[in-house]
């Protein structure tokens, strides 16, 4: 699971949309540090279009995993550097939690939540 999560983060930073698409379930939802809910289509669409660009998105703590046969939860502190079309650049550290489900033989992220820390 740790490797899958690192692969997911890398796909977002490098804008590898084929890999990102496979790693996110169709019903994926992200809750951003600002409390905004984004669907997979909205989130990955913003990345694909360049509207949202990650300069860095990496775990800065151990990735802790809890799992069962069909469900896995990963939690870690992440360092995130992101910019948007309007020129804003945001650099923050967050607690990041992702829920994965095993679907059709592969693990896919279904929920993500980031909470900014001081």
Could you say which DSSP state residue 2 is in? H
Cα torsion 37, 41, 59, 72: sign: positive
The residues facing 53 across adjacent strands are 83
Cβ contact 29:38 at 8 Å: yes
Structural domains counted in the chain? 1
Q: Which residues of 76-85 are buried (b: 16+ CB within 10 A; e: fewer)?
A: bebebebbee
CATH code at 40? 3.10.450.50
Q: Tens place of pLDDT for every residue, the chain, 118 residues?
A: 999 999 999 999 999 999 999 999 999 999 998 899 999 999 999 999 999 999 999 999 999 999 999 999 999 999 999 987 766 778 899 999 999 999 999 999 999 999 999 7
| Segments forming the whole domain that contains residue 95 | 2-117
The pTM (predicted TM-score) of the whole model is: 0.93
């Amino acid at each position: 699971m740790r490797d899958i999560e690192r692969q997911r983060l890398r796909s977002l930073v490098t804008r590898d949309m084929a890999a990102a698409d496979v790693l996110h379930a169709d019903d994926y939802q992200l809750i951003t540090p600002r409390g905004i809910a984004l669907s997979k289509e909205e989130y990955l669409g913003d990345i694909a279009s360049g509207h949202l660009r990650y300069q860095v998105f990496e775990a800065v703590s151990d990735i802790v995993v809890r799992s069962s046969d069909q469900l896995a939860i990963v939690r870690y502190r992440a360092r995130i550097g992101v910019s948007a079309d309007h020129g804003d650049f945001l650099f923050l550290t967050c607690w990041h939690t992702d829920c994965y489900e095993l679907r059709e033989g592969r693990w896919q992220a279904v929920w993500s939540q980031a909470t900014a820390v001081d």
